[in-house]
């Protein structure tokens, strides 16, 4: 029998007398996140905690880097604000480090399973909020690398979305393991592990992620997972190849991936309001181009001309997004409070768990996104989008059985014309799991 290991325990009251802990928001292999209150003013906060006994010294350094990045971005209104932090050395009796952030009402992924009526404008404004935050990062030569709805937080009172989770962000010169985030959304060149991309072009992966985020907000599912089928498997196979072979293989794949992107976006177009359809699909085609350079140069026929010569300037994308909003003639309609209230009520039922004074820190090797996807599917058992998202998440962690079951649930859930991309995602997962008959 394997040797039993005692689960480490953390006395929450020892963190700081300043904070009153409320609930566990998420647990993953890199950190544990709690909701709490600042006892000085009862302000709600989020505390991201790393225990070096559980998460490892590398995760402590990741959190330290994240704190340093947030300190550079204090004046950025579209990035979640850092409020407090504490780091202790390994020599101290306490083994944990933490960072305190302002608390949002919910993350944007909880909006995705809700009925699509009257949500197009609100989702596009969320995308613009993310763009503004990302532009501020890029102007400081910082690439986010993990842009997705789960990392876009909604503040109801501010009527605003803000970027969160800079755990993989950093200076473009910091490459290696920080080059990509969630494989369901990562850019193709990162899935194929290209190492010949100039450092000055590293932020081009974020431009792909902007297009991916718009796609996710509109459809509820991940673009890269549909485009490539099994991104995690491709990465695993590609690791065994030399850098030169990786680059050659990726270059060979670009025309095929571009044609597949066009087909997916053509299917998406029917879910976009007609006045904005052509402009938005044209923009997304450029942002989601598998060739990184083509995302900004506008040198292919039919792409938008980017007059700005540097890839860190995203204003041309912001301008095109506002053009899309003007075409539907409701640019001032940003009050999503009623919809957010519904999503908040659901997310609190499924995500927040009460805390005892003594909390068992359970080690896990799974990324936090799988727990979020499971919670959303549990909260929305009749949603095609919720089950398709879970299918993609389970596939990303290599759980073929859970992926196939979730995809099957997606195909049997009630659906309408606006959810056909989610159906496509579920069918793609089933094919990758070897169940083409059910797909």
What's the CA gap between 417 and 201, in Å, rounded? 38
Nearest Cα residue to 383 out of 219, 222, 266, 271: 219
Alpha helices (runs of H) in 84-203, residue ranges in sequence order = 120-139, 188-191
**H/E run at residue 61:** helix 57-72
Query: What pLDDT, on a 0 to 100 scale, did the predictor assign at position 434?
Result: 87
Q: Which residue has the higher pLDDT, 111 or 54?
A: 111
Residue 10, φ and ψ in degrees, nearest 5:
-120, 120
Q: Which residue has the higher pLDDT, 164 or 26?
A: 164
pLDDT tens track for 151-172: 999 998 888 999 999 888 865 5
Query: What pLDDT, on a 0 to 100 scale, did the predictor assign at position 221?
Result: 97
CA dihedral sign of residues 110, 260, 423, 387? negative
Query: What pLDDT, on a 0 to 100 scale, did the predictor assign at position 75?
Result: 79
- Evaluate whether the domain defined by 9-102 bears CATH number 3.30.200.20: yes
What's the CA gap between 17 and 10, in Å, rounded? 15
Query: What pLDDT, on a 0 to 100 scale, did the predictor assign at position 90?
Result: 57
**H/E run at residue 316:** helix 315-327
pLDDT tens track for 343-396: 666 665 555 444 444 344 455 578 889 989 999 999 999 999 999 999 999 999
- pLDDT greater than 80 at residue 228: yes
What's the CA gap between 50 and 275, in Å, rounded? 48
Query: What pLDDT, on a 0 to 100 scale, did the predictor assign at position 436?
Result: 66
- Domain borders along the chain are 9-102, 119-219+230-327
Q: Which residue has the higher pLDDT, 204 or 92?
A: 204
Q: Is residue 193 very low, low, confident or very high in pLDDT (cuts 50, 70, 90)?
A: confident
Query: What pLDDT, on a 0 to 100 scale, did the predictor assign at position 311?
Result: 56
- pLDDT greater than 80 at residue 199: no
Nearest 5 degrees, angle CA 314-CA 315-CA 319? 125
| CATH class as words, domain 119-219+230-327 | mainly alpha
Structure-block tokens of residue 257: 């991936």
Residues sharing a CB contact under 8 Å with residue 149, sequence separation 6 or more, in sequence order: 107, 108, 109, 111, 112, 213, 216, 217
Q: What is the mean pLDDT of the chain?
A: 82
What's the CA gap between 323 and 272, in Å, rounded? 14
Q: Read off the pTM.
A: 0.89
Residues sharing a CB contact under 8 Å with residue 69, sequence separation 6 or more, in sequence order: 142, 166, 169, 170
Query: What pLDDT, on a 0 to 100 scale, did the predictor assign at position 255?
Result: 96
**SS3 annotation, 189-239:** HHHCCCCCCCHHHCCHHHHHHHHHHHHHHHHCCCHHHHHHCCHHHHHHHHC
pLDDT tens track for 272-313: 988 999 999 999 999 999 999 899 865 555 556 555 545 568
Inter-residue contact 371 to 413 (CB < 8 Å): no
Structure-block tokens of residue 73: 């971005």
């Amino acid at each position: 029998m394997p040797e039993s290991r005692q689960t480490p325990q953390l006395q929450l009251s020892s963190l700081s007398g300043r904070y009153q802990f409320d609930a566990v928001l998420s647990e993953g292999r890199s950190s544990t996140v709690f909701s709490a209150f600042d006892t000085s003013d009862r302000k709600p906060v989020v505390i991201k905690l790393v225990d070096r006994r559980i998460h490892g010294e590398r995760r402590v350094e990741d959190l330290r880097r994240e704190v340093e990045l947030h300190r550079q971005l204090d004046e950025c209104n579209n990035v979640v604000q850092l409020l407090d932090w504490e780091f202790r050395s390994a020599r101290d009796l306490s083994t944990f480090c933490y960072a305190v952030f302002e608390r949002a009402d919910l993350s944007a992924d909880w909006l995705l399973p809700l009925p699509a009526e009257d949500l197009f404008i609100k989702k596009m404004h969320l995308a613009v909020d993310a763009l503004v935050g990302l532009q501020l990062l890029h102007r400081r030569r910082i690439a986010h690398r993990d842009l997705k709805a789960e990392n876009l937080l909604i503040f109801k009172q501010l009527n605003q979305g803000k970027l969160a989770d800079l755990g993989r962000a950093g200076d473009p010169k910091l490459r290696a393991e920080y080059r990509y985030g969630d494989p369901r959304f990562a850019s193709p060149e990162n899935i194929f592990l290209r190492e010949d991309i100039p450092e000055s072009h590293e932020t081009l992966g974020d431009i792909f992620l902007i297009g991916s985020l718009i796609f996710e907000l509109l459809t509820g599912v991940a673009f890269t997972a549909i485009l490539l089928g099994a991104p995690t498997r491709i990465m695993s196979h590609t690791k065994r190849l030399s850098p030169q072979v990786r680059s050659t293989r990726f270059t060979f794949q670009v025309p095929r991936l571009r044609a597949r992107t066009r087909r997916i976006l053509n299917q998406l177009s029917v879910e976009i309001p007609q006045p904005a359809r052509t402009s938005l699909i044209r923009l997304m085609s450029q942002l989601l181009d598998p060739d990184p350079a083509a995302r900004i140069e506008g040198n292919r026929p039919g792409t938008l001309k980017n007059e700005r010569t540097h890839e860190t300037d995203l204003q041309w994308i912001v301008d095109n997004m506002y053009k899309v909003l003007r075409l539907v003639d409701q640019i001032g309609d940003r009050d999503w409070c009623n919809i957010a209230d519904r999503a908040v009520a659901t997310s609190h039922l499924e995500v927040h768990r009460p805390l005892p004074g003594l909390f068992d820190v359970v080690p896990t090797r799974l990324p936090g996104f799988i727990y979020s996807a499971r919670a959303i599917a549990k909260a929305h058992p009749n949603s095609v989008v919720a089950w398709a998202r879970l299918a993609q998440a389970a596939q990303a962690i290599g759980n073929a059985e859970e992926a196939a079951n979730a995809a099957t649930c997606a195909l049997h859930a009630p659906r309408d014309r606006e959810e056909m991309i989610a159906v496509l995602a579920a069918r793609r997962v089933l094919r990758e799991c070897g169940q083409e008959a059910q797909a």
